[in-house]
Every structure is written in structure tokens, then in C-alpha cells.
Amino acid sequence: MNDENAPTAQADRLFMPAEPKPAISQISAANLLGLQAFEAAYRLGSFRAAADALHLTPSAVSHRIRNLERLMGDHLFVRAHRAVTPTVAGRSLAATTGRAFTEFARALSLQHAPGARTRLRLAVVPTFEMTWLIPRIETFLSAHPEVELLVENVNRALDFDNEPFDAAICGGTGDWPGLAALPLMKISTTPICAPAVAARLKFRHPIDLQRATLVHVTSYPLAWSLWFDSAGIGEITPRRTFWVDSFWAAQQAAECGVGVALGLDPLCAEPERLGRLQRPFPMLVPTGDYWFVHRPQDERNPALRAFKRWIIAAAEPGEVAIDESCS
């Protein structure tokens, strides 16, 4: 009986389809380490920076990438003194590794033991963070102690496929293909200054701004020009100019009496209510909206859902919810 069945059993095994190997089993540990080193070097722009991030020596990073290049049969970087430039092959590989490592990070952040905190990483433009989010965030943290919130200042376009952010709060028109975008508030610019500055310069007409120090924002160099055009006065030559890197810094400079800045309404309303700022002219120039943006598939993240519900409610007109002890 056994002898008769043996050929049949062997034939059955012979013609059974092979079980596909898991993709990870086809990648050696050395290759995974090479991909990790490559991704860090590409993202950070140098082997030394990658070494610092991975707690390795630059030579160890270089060695791992060399092994990866041998496996692929192509150079991934053009090496120069203290600098590396990705090749075409390197840029092509980076498009894959960036997404893969970002997905790993997202998957790990969602796999928590019962009772563990859920991490939410937000990219937020500086002015919104400092003037609106920080004064209100305690209400969210108190209501959701299970959420570990990481907020990072980002004032540039984001690539959600290759950066580890769960969501962003940024300015724009809402045109982000493939992303979920929720409008939070409309933003306008208006001149702001300390009450003492307004009293000293006795502003009556927008042309009087030529007697003031104007505070400009380097990333929005045309902001004042747009406001002047709307005011119908064209360009003016102010007494002095002072440049800072964000509307938040410009607002701080105005509060400190440095000069007249363009504030973002309604973000400058609170220091105005407290008497730290004054609007010498009532005119507002619409400049766009702030948006809450995330990938649609990240809606499954419970921390993101909780934060989204909170910020929708907190951004409603008339809602204050400010911790004035920090003002």
C-alpha cells in the first residue's frame, strides 16, 4: 500500500504550486541595513549626518551603501569632498525607500499595547502654532491623555509619502491632490504695532507708514506691496526696514515696539484684546486660508481622528478656548 502511494504522493508534491516566499525573506539583513543607511544619507544630504542619526561612523555608512551599490550594479551617489549627490539610480531608489520607511514608521506608531499612548506627529506653520495652537492645546491634551503629540515647525511644501508626518496645518488654496484637506480659518493681513508706536507716529492715512519702521517677512517679501496696492497708495519708502523669518516673529517685533508689521487676522486678535497690539488702519487684505491636511488612509489613526474633531470645534468662529495663564 505504501509503495503504491509513494509515486502518487511525490507527483502531487511535484505539481503543487510553490508557496511564495515572503518578500522580507528575499532581503538579507545586510541589505536592509544598506537600505537604511542609503535612506538616511539621501534624506539628510551627507554620510556624516546619516552616521550621526544612525549612531554609526561615516565609514560604516559608506561601507553599507557600497555593498548596496554592488548588489544593484549601479552607483547611488556621486561622492565629493564632504558632500554626496544622488545619481539618477539613487533618486529612483529614494522614491521607494522613502515611502517604505515612512510606512514602517506609521505602522509601528499604530501598534500599541492596550493602555499605551498613541503618537500623532504634526507639521504646523510657525505663526499658527505660536499664536493659535499653543495657547489652546492644553484643552486637547487634557481631554486625550492617551495621545502623545509631536509638533514641528514646517514652513514648506510637504511630501506625505516620504516624510513621517501624520497631518499638517498649513496655508494654501486647498488644492492638494490625493490628500484630505479641511479648511480651518480664513486669513487676512492688516498692519499692527504697539500702542506706544501708534501714539508717537499719529497715523491718520496709510501713507503715514513711510514715517515708520516696517517689519517684513523674508518668506513673503511681497506682502506689504500687496497691502499697499489694496490701500491705493502704491509703494512707499519707509523710514527703516527690518526683516524676520515668519509672521510670528513679525508680530513679536511689533509688540516690542520695533515698528509696524503685517499681522494675520484673526491670529493677532488676542494680543490686541490684551492691549499689546493696535491696528492703526482697519483695512484687511484676504490672503488665503489655513487647512488641516492628511492622507485619507490615515483616518484610521485614532489620535488623528481625535485631534481633527477637536480642532474643528476649536476653530469655530467665536470659540476662544485659550489658556490665558500662558499669555
Residue pLDDT, tens place only, 20-42:
444 444 567 778 888 888 888 88
User: How much is the pLDDT for 225?
Assistant: 94
Give average pLDDT by consecutive 10-residue segment, the chain, 327 residues. 45 42 58 85 86 88 89 86 83 78 60 60 93 95 94 84 86 88 94 97 95 95 94 91 95 97 94 95 93 91 94 76 35
CATH tag, 27-109: 1.10.10.10
**What is the DSSP pairing of strand 260-265 with strand 240-244?**
unpaired
Q: Given this chain, do its domains 27-109 and 119-322 carry the same CATH topology?
A: no
CA distance 80 to 197: 53
CA distance 294 to 30: 34
Instruction: Read off the pLDDT of residues 69-97 as tens digits, 9 standing for 90 and up.
Output: 888 888 898 887 777 888 998 888 887 77
User: How much is the pLDDT for 327?
Assistant: 32
User: How much is the pLDDT for 95?
Assistant: 79
Nearest 10 degrees: CA dihedral of 101, 151, 158, 111?
30
CATH tag, 119-322: 3.40.190.290
* CA 279 vs CA 169, 195, 202, 227, 240: distances in Å: 26, 9, 12, 14, 19
CA distance 168 to 165: 7
Instruction: Read off the pLDDT of residues 93-119 as tens digits, 9 standing for 90 and up.
Output: 887 776 666 666 655 555 544 444 588
Domain boundaries along the sequence of the chain: 27-109, 119-322
Beta bridge partners of 241: 214
